[in-house]
Amino acid sequence: MSNPERDPEPVRCTGEHEHHDTLVVLSPREVPLGGPRAMTVRRTIPHRERSFIGAWCFVDHYGPDDVARTGGMDVAPHPHTGLQTVSWLFEGEIEHRDSAGYHAMVRPGEVNLMTSGGGIAHSEVSTASTTTLHGVQLWVVLPEADRDAPRAFEHYAAPAVEMADGVRARVFVGELAGERSPVDTFTPLLGAEVHLAPHTEWTVALDPDHEHGVLLDVGELSVDGRALDRGELAIRDCGARTMTLRSADEPVRAMVLGGAPYDEEIVMWWNFIGRDHDEVARYREEWQARSDRFGTVDGYEPRHGREWLPAPELPGGRLRSRGRLGRR
């Protein structure tokens, strides 16, 4: 998914690092994807208080969206650099096409992971049979050594696994409670959809060298005793060895994210990740010129007459640092 903001806020992250001993809870901000009837996403990362969980650098949560009212998703070919996109659905179906030649569907319980390397383009369109669209769109920043890796794509149907009485999970990236995904990432990561039956408490072991977050989709959930509202993201910094999730009267669905702290300095603006202002400006210029860096997406049929998504104008002045947010 593209970052749809007309004036995307630049985020430059440095290696400054300080752990929080308490649970940090982030509330989402709403970002419309288009006109007044279009889809709206709830964004928790990046946040004014936090840039990352591990190498997860972008967390959008959307739906359930009535496609008959909003038109669903129709994101024309758009670029990415220096990242991996991770698409995960609870309801609906999305058609993916990219300039590496991959054509695939995103369905509930199945992850699509696309590696941009130094440049890729892709489109995302909800299918004609989709009446409700509900899911998350995630980005992972690539480390310096791998940011020009070849374009790539992986699809994996994650099985639902019983973790404990009243607890089941689909682990689509990394490892949780002994269940491991075969999907390749360039830094240690965790991504899982977790379900709790009503009145269930689950204490899960964590890697103390990783950061972890829990995003509540539906239900009533507390994380280490702190109740979450729908769409909120609870974060534990490194050092925690366990985390306790507890449901109340309703079934819970939540996303668990984690990973080793990411300490490289980056600039993130619109759909680009670079290392400084000049690099990001060059990516934008190349995309507007339709350069070979990003390739061509074959098979996309525009619904609204736009065959590709132009980049917004860069902000006035140079893209500046806000620091390694949440680690002051």
Average pLDDT on 77-106 reads 98
Q: How does pLDDT run across 129-177, given as a tens digit for each residue?
A: 999 999 999 999 999 999 999 999 999 999 999 999 999 999 999 999 9
Q: How does pLDDT run across 243-284, given as a tens digit for each residue?
A: 999 999 999 999 999 999 999 989 999 999 999 999 999 999
Q: Which CATH class, in words, describes the domain spanning 23-259? A: mainly beta
What is the model's pTM? 0.92
Secondary structure of the chain as H, E, C letters: CCCCCCCCCCEEECCCCCCCCCCEEECCEEEECCCCCCCEEEEEECECCECCECCEEEEEEEEEEEHHHHCCCEEEEEEEECEEEEEEEEECCEEEEECCCCEEEECCCEEEEEECCCCEEEEEEECCCCCEEEEEEEEEECCHHHCCCCCEEEEEECCCEEEECCEEEEEEECEECCEECCCCCCCCEEEEEEEECCCCEEEEECCCCCEEEEEEEECCEEECCEEECCCCEEEECCCCCEEEEEECCCCEEEEEEEECCCCCCEEEECCEEECCHHHHHHHHHHHHCCCCCCCCCCCCCCCCCCCCCCCCCCCCCCCCCCCCCCCC
d(CA 127, CA 129): 5
Whether residue 87 is predicted with pLDDT greater than 50 in this model: the reply is yes
End-to-end Cα, the chain, rounded Å: 30
**Predicted local distance difference test score (pLDDT) of residue 33:** 75
d(CA 91, CA 135): 7
**Predicted local distance difference test score (pLDDT) of residue 22:** 80
* Domain ranges (residues) in the chain: 23-259
**Predicted local distance difference test score (pLDDT) of residue 32:** 86
**Predicted local distance difference test score (pLDDT) of residue 293:** 98
**Predicted local distance difference test score (pLDDT) of residue 325:** 44
Whether residue 35 is predicted with pLDDT greater than 80 in this model: the reply is no
Percent of the chain at pLDDT above 70? 90
Q: How does pLDDT run across 205-248, given as a tens digit for each residue?
A: 999 999 999 999 999 999 999 999 999 999 999 999 999 999 99
**Predicted local distance difference test score (pLDDT) of residue 305:** 72
Nearest to 297 by CA among 150, 127, 97: 97
Whether residue 327 is predicted with pLDDT greater than 90 in this model: the reply is no
